[in-house]
Amino acid sequence: MSKLLIPNEYQLINEVFPEMGFPTKDGETYGIRTEEFDAIILKCIVPEQVAMNFDNPQVIIDNWHNDMPDNYGIIEVNNGLTKNGNKYVYFIMKHSLGTEDNPVFGNGYLMNINIKLGNDIYFINSSFTERGITGARDNTIYMMFLQKYPDLEDPYDGWASDPYDSTYKEGFLMNLSEDEIYDDLFPNHPLSKAREFVEFILDNN
């Protein structure tokens, strides 16, 4: 069995998630907590029939578009080969941490990855969430957006959209601050850390 490498900063923990079927026989959970974000990583080997489609990420996009919760939105969906030539597919979704019954500020980012190592298909389910002072990335980039377009009739026109279908308006749409170009400005933001995690997996497996 091929071993999936995880970044060293994520510590192996004993927490279980019975509602998700963890731990499994070969499953492991990892976690990290900082002043700016929390992350929980669940990984295990899954049968091919429950893995995402490695060759057609549009299926994943369409499935989300057909059944998008009000507080979720697509950030990115991607597939290809790792540096070692192994197939992968992943998605990152955003979601609001607050609900009508529990008004909490901040966003979380759900990331799922499938990667094929030899005869094994690994599934990684992870959650990266804001901690501490939330919204700094959104607010900073939004102020830059308003300075660039000071004459907008609607100050939110062009701020948020679905990255794969500009006509799609359901859910909690990705906004301009969540573009990858701003990750270096906010290296400890949970979305930046989620993308950093993906990059490690693709570079080292």
Per-residue model confidence (pLDDT) at position 198? 98
Are 113 and 201 in contact by the 8 Å Cβ rule? The answer is yes
Per-residue model confidence (pLDDT) at position 134? 82
Count how many domains the chain has.
1
Per-residue model confidence (pLDDT) at position 98? 63
178 Cβ neighbours under 8 A, 6+ residues apart: 75, 94, 137, 191
At 120, list the tokens: 């094994």
User: Does 3 map to a domain?
Assistant: no
d(CA 31, CA 193) in angstroms, rounded, equals: 13
Q: Which domain holds residue 174?
A: 11-204
Q: What is the DSSP letter of 188?
A: T
Q: What is the pTM of this model?
A: 0.90
User: Does 191 map to a domain?
Assistant: yes
- Upstream peptide bond of 155 is cis (omega within 30 degrees of 0): no
DSSP strand E in the chain: where? 11-13, 28-33, 37-46, 72-81, 87-96, 107-117, 120-130
Per-residue model confidence (pLDDT) at position 65? 98
Are 191 and 92 in contact by the 8 Å Cβ rule? The answer is yes
Are 94 and 174 in contact by the 8 Å Cβ rule? The answer is yes
User: Does 5 map to a domain?
Assistant: no
User: Does 4 map to a domain?
Assistant: no
- CA distances 79 to 53, 57, 87, Å, are 9, 7, 8
User: Does 1 map to a domain?
Assistant: no
Q: Residue 88's closest CA among 98, 96, 78, 97?
A: 78
Mean pLDDT, consecutive 10-residue stretches, the chain (205 aa), reads 86 70 71 94 90 96 96 97 97 84 76 95 94 88 87 81 96 96 96 98 97
DSSP string over 67-120: T--TTEEEEEEEEEE-TTS-EEEEEEEEEES--SSS----EEEEEEEEEEETTE
d(CA 83, CA 62) in angstroms, rounded, equals: 28
